Structure 1
């Protein structure tokens, strides 16, 4: 009941992040019918294009084997091993091409459905794979019911095809049993091709439907609740509380760095307690005055306090301080519009220093 209620609450489509994480874990939509269709197609291709010559060669071998058994002595163990080796090689020649086609078809079916990738998660032991409860749900859940219906449909179709085909060809099959082995095998090949063509055509439709169903079912299983979407969004963008704390820490670090730079200032412009801007200008180093620190209210008072402790001149200019505070940035030169006003203050600072030196 709780599982059903949980599924009912998952009304939101999966986010791109959840889809990406699921794919990285190797949990991809897979259509079993597509793999079966590819295998049957490989068998049909083999029967149509490759089997005739191999069957003729096998027929010749069987003809010699059955009509002249004296050519195959079985007096010793070595004779038996030699006979087994010959029979095995003949069968391997017939089935070798088929095995290659089946392997290629398997890889092609897998690559057609999903991009091949190695996922260590898929081979890691998991308790859920041997869980009786999960196994019961897989067998008797919706997915298990769909698989059961597909199996019944395939079984019924195969039986119908066999009955329909053999009903028309059973006389030809029986008469072929008393002919040469080559002729009989070619007769079997012709009947097999008829059966395979019918099965492959229907399996193409079944595989297409199953491919669509597997992707729909995969998407449905990935659905999320509204809360899960909110939690993921919060996680991807960052918890607001944590982000606020990080911003606060960043401001504190920037404030401490500014205060440590104030002793290197050439002058401070204040308003007189609401704003403070600490500027540095050294003729040989700076093309224009550089803002070392700026602050408002308590920070402005702290800048003035440090400036007073280090004997840095403080100029109180309400309009200039207010205007500069809004337009300057720390560690940047002041805008050109303030050059004239600040240059006058710098001239005063250098003049005072010159008088002290003379005196």
Structure 2
């Protein structure tokens, strides 16, 4: 049993995952990030490649057509260089924005965004040669080696297929005029680069599930760790049980202290007891002072007998009051008539004891609405 408790067989709890995230331990896929950055670069070149090429051509043209005064005057030279570089700003800005967006997506699609100073802090364990050797010959290093071989293989096959597919078209470039050949070659290279980078998604599709599985595996917990975490977050079950027991005892003592103030105690006759008080000055309806089953019910009846409080048997009304009310709460509207019959009997009984009226008949078979029957 002790060995089982030490095995990491339990899935990480929400707290475990939250703590790991705070430390910067989240699932990341380098392959997904690399693939999206390269694909973003390919898409960016296709979108702004023409403008970028035209800007470079303009710079080259202006650089080879400088006047003699511009060459020998430093101020004119820097002004000319600045004016030439301005044309590069817009296409380069779009190129960088697309690549940065692709890089951010690649690094946050798996695991989301997480900032952790703890992860950025230097750790001496990372600088240990022994720890470095373990990382070099560990399972993770083996996985990275397999991924590297897979990437080289996949990209090599894709490149071979692309060149086989476009080989005749490449040869035909020599038959075209110079400007047209350059434009066709650049267009072909853009599409070849995009298709080649798309092949990396195959590696990423395998790496992403593996990184998720590996992240969960590293955070798995032993049964004892789950128990300890539950105790720390929820409290010791034994202590909580004792606190609840003490609270219940205190509630029962306060409840029993209120029983002598009751006008009547109605019973089941043995399992349930409910003590009621009707004070017209404080409330418009009778209030439940105490209620209980079995031992508590017996104690309520015992206190009622000691203080000479009328005890009336009415099983249906007692069960209904017990299940539909709380201590200190008024009785439900649906039980007004039933309780009124009981209180009328109690008040008539009090008048009889004082010699002011005849002995009343105890009400029997008091009706309770069907929706309040238990």
- Same-fold status (TM-score > 0.5): yes
The change in CA–CA distance for 1:345 and 1:44 in structure 2 (over 3 A counts) is: same
1:25 Cα offset (Å): 6.5
Contact 2:10 2:221 in 1 (8 A): yes
Shift in CA distance, 43/323, structure 1 to aligned 2, threshold 3 Å = closer
Residue number in structure 2 paired with 1:55: 53
CA distance 1:73–1:314, change in 2 (3 Å) = same
Q: Output the CA distance in 2 between the equivalents of 1:138 and 1:6.
A: 28
Q: Give the aligned partner of residue 314 of structure 1.
A: 309
The residue number in structure 2 matching 1:256 is 253
Greater mean deviation of Cα atoms: 291-300 or 207-216? 291-300
Of residues 241-250 and 231-240 in structure 1, the stretch that sits farther from structure 2 once superposed is: 231-240
Q: Which residue of 2 is the match for residue 123 of structure 1?
A: 117
What secondary structure sits across from 2:143 in the alignment? helix
The reply to whether residue 105 of structure 1 matches residue 99 of structure 2 is no
Q: Give the distance between the partners of 2:14 and 2:225, measured in 1 at CA.
A: 13
Q: Distance in 2 between matches of 1:236 and 1:81?
A: 67
Instruction: Give the corresponding residue for 2:349.
Output: 348
CA 338–126 in structure 1, closer or farther in 2 if over 3 Å, else same: same
Are 1:244 and 2:241 counterparts?
A: yes
Match of 1:12 in 2: 10
Q: Do the aligned partners of 1:31 and 1:211 also contact (CA within 8 Å) in 2? A: yes
Q: Could you say which residue in structure 2 is the equivalent of 1:291?
A: 288
Stretches of structure 2 that go unaligned for 5 or more consecutive residues are 357-374
Unaligned runs of 5+ in 1: none
- State the match for 2:215 in structure 1: 218
- Tell me how large the CA RMSD over aligned residues is: 4.8
- Structure 1 distance, partners of 2:271, 2:287, is 21
- 2:367 alignment counterpart: none
Structure 1 residues 323 and 146: CA distance shift in structure 2, 3 A:
same
Give the CA deviation at 1:97: 2.0
Q: What TM-score do you get using the length of structure 2 for normalisation?
A: 0.66
SS in 1 for 2:288: strand
TM-score by length of 1: 0.68
Are 1:40 and 2:34 counterparts?
no
Q: Is the 8 A contact 1:263 1:306 kept in 2?
A: yes
Determine whether 1:81 maps to 2:82.
no
d(CA) in 2 for partners of 1:300, 1:15: 46
| C-alpha displacement of 1:186 | 4.6
Change (3 A) 1:305 1:212: closer
CA distance in structure 1 between the aligned counterparts of 2:198 and 2:270, rounded to whole angstroms: 88
| Counterparts of 1:271 and 1:187, CA distance in 2 | 98
Checking the alignment, whether the CA contact within 8 Å between 1:267 and 1:279 is kept in structure 2 is yes
1:37-57 deviation digits (Å, cap 9, x = unpaired): 122112212333321233133
